Amino acid sequence: MINHNFEKRLTSTKVFYSYLRDFIANFKAVKTAKSRLDEQFQNKILLAVTQVNGCRYCSYLHTKHALESGMSEEEIKGLLAGEVGDINDDESVALIFAQHYAETQAKPDADSVQRLYDTYGEEKADDIISIIQAIMMGNIHGISIDLLLSRLRGKRDPESSFWTEFSTAFGVLLFVPYLGIKKLFGLLDPKELHHTQGA
């Protein structure tokens, strides 16, 4: 049986806003990445990030998609346990980077970024980062809803607050239009991770 119980990492509304900003600024690139990257590879990235952030809803959803794409239950269990050792070498660098990106709250170190680009080249590395940025936003939003519903059922998380949960869960109603307008007028540049070109 696949375990979907994780330690949730809600962080803050400010951090969620930064993830949402990255996603909207990079929305076109996310769509392109989804059409170019192998479906199983995408699912592995999504599961690797979700394991770190601890979103139960995303775990259920992406496990379902992973099974439908042909991944084995054992492979999924391993990713949800944070294990990438059995993943083939072509994918391990991306999955380790995905975990690192989530653990550092979207602030990966320069060596990790460079290794990603050295391994996959400009286009594929950009696609991998786009998929990671999308799931980072989705994870934190899902966690906020989960925690808020638990609070309403009388199961409050002592490490969280009502305001953080509420503002993250419903802040999108304000954040998305605001960021959308900024993007429309060219005031929202995609986040770029520094790396050496053609390394």
Mean pLDDT of 44-72: 91
Class of 13-184 in CATH: mainly alpha
Structure-token match 């995905």, residue found: 98
Mean pLDDT of 161-189: 95
The pLDDT confidence band at residue 8, using thresholds 50, 70 and 90, is low
Sequence-separated (6 or more) residues with CB below 8 Å from residue 149: none
Taking the CA atoms of residue 84, residue 106, residue 192 and residue 109 in that order, the dihedral angle to the nearest 10 degrees is -70
Please tell me the predicted confidence (pLDDT) of residue 199.
43
Please tell me the predicted confidence (pLDDT) of residue 198.
57
DSSP H or E stretch at residue 38: none
Locate the domains of the chain by residue range. 13-184
| Residue 198 backbone phi and psi in degrees, to 5 | 65, 25
Q: Is the pLDDT of residue 46 over 90?
A: yes
Percent of the chain with pLDDT over 90: 71
Q: Which amino acid is at 36?
A: R
* Span 111-169, pLDDT tens digits: 999 999 999 999 999 999 999 999 999 999 999 999 999 999 999 988 899 999 999 99
* Span 103-119, pLDDT tens digits: 999 999 999 999 999 99
Please work out, in degrees rounded to the nearest 5, the angle formed at the alpha carbon of residue 169 by the alpha carbons of 133 and 19.
Answer: 20
Find out whether 26 and 184 touch, Cβ atoms under 8 Å: no
The pLDDT confidence band at residue 87, using thresholds 50, 70 and 90, is low
Q: Which amino acid is at 185?
A: F
pTM of the model: 0.89
Mean pLDDT of 165-182: 96
Q: How far apart are CA 66 and CA 23, in angstroms?
A: 22
- Cα maximum dimension of the chain: 54
Find out whether 22 and 180 touch, Cβ atoms under 8 Å: no
Find out whether 25 and 190 touch, Cβ atoms under 8 Å: yes
> Based on C-alpha coordinates, what's the Rg of the chain?
17
